[in-house]
Each structure stands twice: as C-alpha cells, then as structure tokens.
C-alpha cells in the first residue's frame, strides 16, 4: 500500500436530514495505521459522518474515498462495529455464529464456512477473551461481552479499516482494557481504526488523531492540537466551564478516572 494514499478522504461533505444539514462542508484526510477518534457534542454529526463514510447515507454534496477508491471497490477491506444498543440481542445465535458472519463477504454470502473460516473465528474470539463463551447464546451475555462479540466479528473480517461506533459505551473496566489492547495490536499491524467517541477525559489516552465536529469541522489533528479551550468552546458552547477543567488537566498530563454522570 502506498504511503501517500489516505485511509479515508472526506471532501466537501454535506449530509442533510429533511433539508437540514447535519454535516456541512466537512473536509479531512486520515492517515493509515492510526487510531482516530471522532468527537463532538450530541447531535454534532459524529454518527452521521460514520454512516456517510460507510455509504449508508447519501451526501447532499461532496464525496468519500477509502484507500483512494470508492467504497464499492474496497468494501472487503472495511469492517464495522455498530453501537451495542442498535443490535437485536434476542436473535437466536451463538457467539461463534455471530463471529463467523465476519467471514461472509458480499460475493460469498451463501457458501458454507470452511476450516479456515472456523480457525479465524476462533482466533478472533480468543483475542477478545470469550473462548469459554463461544457456544453461548448472545442474549445470555453481559453488555461488555456482547460488545466484545461484535469486535471479534470485525476482527474475523481481517480488514484494513475498522469503523467503530462508540465501542466503549456501557462496558466494564475489563472490556475497556481488552478493547484498548486490541486497538494497539491492530495499529501495530498497520490497521486503521476510526472510532466515534463521546468521553473527552479519555481521548488523549486512546487516540493518535482527532476530528472534532459540530455540524462543521471544528478542528483536526493530534489531541494536544485539537483539545484547546477555543476549539472546545466552538464545539461545546455552554459546557465550557467543565471543558476548561478538562483542558487544564490534559495540559498537566493528568488524566483522571472518568466521573460517573459526566457525558460530553
């Protein structure tokens, strides 16, 4: 893969709902081999940007390229981890069944899984620490375990780009630690990970690069470049008092444990 090809290129992207822009003239390029966070207040267009990148929403204007090509040309190189709340966990499937779904591509949806598929699925389950639960129904898992299942499914795809919608929401400390370890391993393998994230107190620990949105692109860059009082004020407005405290802590390299009830 050429080093000058970006993992994601978003150019003059505008997405509207019922004629109202949710994203307006967004423009950024994201390098390969990084863990990237998309942050911003509720309703800022974070999930909309992810859906536009995935081709689930048609933009009003602009375009997205993945590895320098259209999504249809590189779809097999892209994996998606949805929000846990968006999944029907009562669907009668085991952990192994769900992870094996990651082995089915658009061109081979109806073929039977083979020995290689099974080995890759079991390896992916092991990476998220769920081997002993591989035959358990997904409805019987805890919230953190359910999140790990969908990460394992994405790992089984053996993609180059991973798109994750708030994978840390509602998970326990063990799952959070497991996800962070996996992200670092994926980065070391040259994978690119784009994560929708809401918790400002953890972004400096989690991400190499940030995209800050509030309908428009507010800032992009390394965490210390993005997490300034000016940028956060432009993005979050009335929450600036709390955000200023967070910025001061970041500047002092003190990253506190997240406080309960703080949702930015």
Q: How would you label 26-48 residue by residue, b for 16+ Cβ within 10 Å and e otherwise?
A: bebebebbbbbbbbbbeebbbbb
Could you tell me the residue range of the domain that residue 133 belongs to? 8-251
Domain of 54, CATH number, reads 3.40.50.300
Mean local confidence (pLDDT), 49-66: 93
Which DSSP symbol is given to 257? P
pLDDT of residue 92: 84
The C-alpha angle with vertex 229 and arms to 197 and 256, in degrees rounded to 5, equals 55
Q: Is 260 within a domain? A: no
| Cα 243 to Cα 100: distance, rounded to the nearest angstrom | 42
Q: Is 264 within a domain? A: no
Q: Is 263 within a domain? A: no
Q: Report the number of distinct structural domains present in the chain.
A: 1
Q: Residue 107 pLDDT more than 50?
A: no
Q: Is 258 within a domain? A: no
Which residue's structure tokens are 């009562």? 90
pLDDT of residue 262: 39
Q: Which residue has the higher pLDDT, 92 or 32?
A: 32
Query: What pTM, to 2 d.p., does this model score?
Result: 0.85
pLDDT of residue 5: 84
Give tens-digit pLDDT for 137-174. 998 998 888 889 999 999 999 999 999 999 988 888 88
Contacts of 35 (CB under 8 A, 6+ apart): 183, 184, 186, 187, 193, 195, 206, 207, 208, 209
Average pLDDT of the chain? Answer: 85
Mean local confidence (pLDDT), 33-40: 96
pLDDT-based confidence at 2, cuts 50/70/90?
Answer: very low
Q: Is 53 within a domain? A: yes
pLDDT of residue 260: 39
pLDDT of residue 256: 45
Q: How would you label 148-187 residue by residue, b for 16+ Cβ within 10 Å and e otherwise?
A: bbbbbbbbbbebbbbbbbbbbbebeeebbebbeebbeebe
Q: Is 262 within a domain? A: no
pLDDT of residue 238: 61
- Burial (CB count within 10 angstroms: exposed 0-12, middle 13-18, buried 19+), residue 20: exposed
Mean local confidence (pLDDT), 186-200: 93
Mean local confidence (pLDDT), 117-144: 93
Q: Is 39 within a domain? A: yes
| Cα 233 to Cα 247: distance, rounded to the nearest angstrom | 11
Q: Is 170 within a domain? A: yes
φ/ψ of 257, rounded to 5, equals -65, 140
Which tokens go with 16? 């509207």
pLDDT of residue 108: 52
pLDDT-based confidence at 258, cuts 50/70/90?
Answer: very low
Give tens-digit pLDDT for 204-257. 889 999 999 999 999 999 999 999 989 998 998 865 555 555 555 555 554 444
Q: Residue 57 pLDDT more than 50?
A: yes
Q: Residue 259 pLDDT more than 50?
A: no
Task: Give the dihedral sign, CA 87/78/192/149.
Answer: positive
φ/ψ of 162, rounded to 5, equals -115, 125
């Amino acid at each position: 893969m050429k080093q000058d090809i970006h993992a994601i290129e978003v150019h003059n992207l505008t997405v509207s709902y019922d004629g109202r822009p949710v994203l307006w003239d967004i423009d950024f390029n994201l390098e390969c081999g990084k863990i990237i966070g998309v942050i911003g207040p509720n309703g800022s267009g974070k999930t909309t940007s992810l859906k536009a990148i995935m081709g689930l929403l048609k933009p009003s204007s602009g375009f997205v390229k993945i590895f320098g090509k259209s999504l249809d040309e590189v779809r097999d190189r892209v994996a998606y981890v949805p929000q846990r709340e968006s999944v029907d966990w009562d669907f009668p499937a085991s952990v192994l069944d769900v992870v094996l779904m990651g082995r089915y591509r658009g061109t081979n949806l109806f073929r039977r899984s083979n020995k290689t598929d099974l080995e890759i699925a079991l390896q992916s389950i092991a990476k998220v620490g769920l081997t002993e639960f591989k035959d358990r129904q997904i409805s019987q898992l805890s919230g953190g375990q359910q999140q790990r299942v969908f990460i394992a499914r994405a790992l089984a795809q053996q993609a180059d780009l991973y798109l994750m919608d708030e994978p840390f929401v509602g998970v326990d400390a063990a799952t959070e630690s497991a996800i962070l370890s996996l992200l670092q391993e994926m980065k070391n393998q040259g994978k690119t990970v784009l994560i929708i994230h809401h918790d400002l107190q953890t972004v400096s620990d989690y991400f190499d690069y940030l995209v800050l949105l509030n309908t428009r692109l507010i800032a992009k860059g390394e965490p210390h470049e993005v997490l300034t009082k000016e940028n956060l004020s432009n993005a979050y407005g009335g929450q600036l008092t709390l955000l200023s405290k967070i910025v001061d802590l970041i500047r002092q390299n003190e990253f506190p444990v997240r406080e309960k009830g703080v949702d930015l």
